[in-house]
Amino acid sequence: MLFLGIPVLEIYLLLKVGGLIGPLPTVVLVVLTAVVGVWLLRMQGYITIARMQESLNRGELPATTMLEGVMLFVAGALLLTPGFFTDTIGFLLLVPASRGWIARLMLRNMMVMSQFKTAQTTQGSQTYQSSATEVIEGEFISHNDKKH
């Protein structure tokens, strides 16, 4: 649905804006948003890397900052894609406040899912689902490797 819906929306918006301001200003605006977006992306990338290094130097896991780095990568891809809708989403991901809020929301949802899986495991239910951090050590013998 996204692969069909987003391009259709982009074409619609480009035609609407082109009808309002003309084709040449529309092309200039699309190129300008890409150039400004990449410049802002570069600045935010340096800041995010510095924050990640500071967290690691303090001995902390920079989970939120790492997720923000992934979002910056997505923002860059969206900003280089011609169109106003993708540029809007890309610029939204460039704003530190909104990017941080989205990262914290995603991490909180991941923790809830992890706790849910762990709770299912410890309840002794019929279906066994292991948590992501559980390690079971042991040895096994394969009966499929029979010698003839």
pLDDT in the model for residue 88: 93
Q: Please tell me the number of Cα atoms within 13 Å of 110 on its side-chain side.
A: 10
- Residue 47 corresponds to which amino acid? I
What was the pLDDT predicted at 6?
A: 92
pLDDT digits (tens, 9 = 90+) for 7-17: 999 999 999 99
Report residue 98 as tokens: 């909104």
Give the mean pLDDT of 24-44: 93
Stretch 101-125: mean pLDDT = 69
Span 51-68, mean pLDDT? 89
**Domain edges within the chain:** 22-121
Task: Tell me the C-alpha to C-alpha distance, in Å, between residue 114 and each of 33, 61, 109, 133.
Answer: 39, 17, 9, 9
* pLDDT reported for residue 131: 53
40-50 pLDDT, tens per residue? 999 999 999 99
The predicted pLDDT at position 60 comes to 87
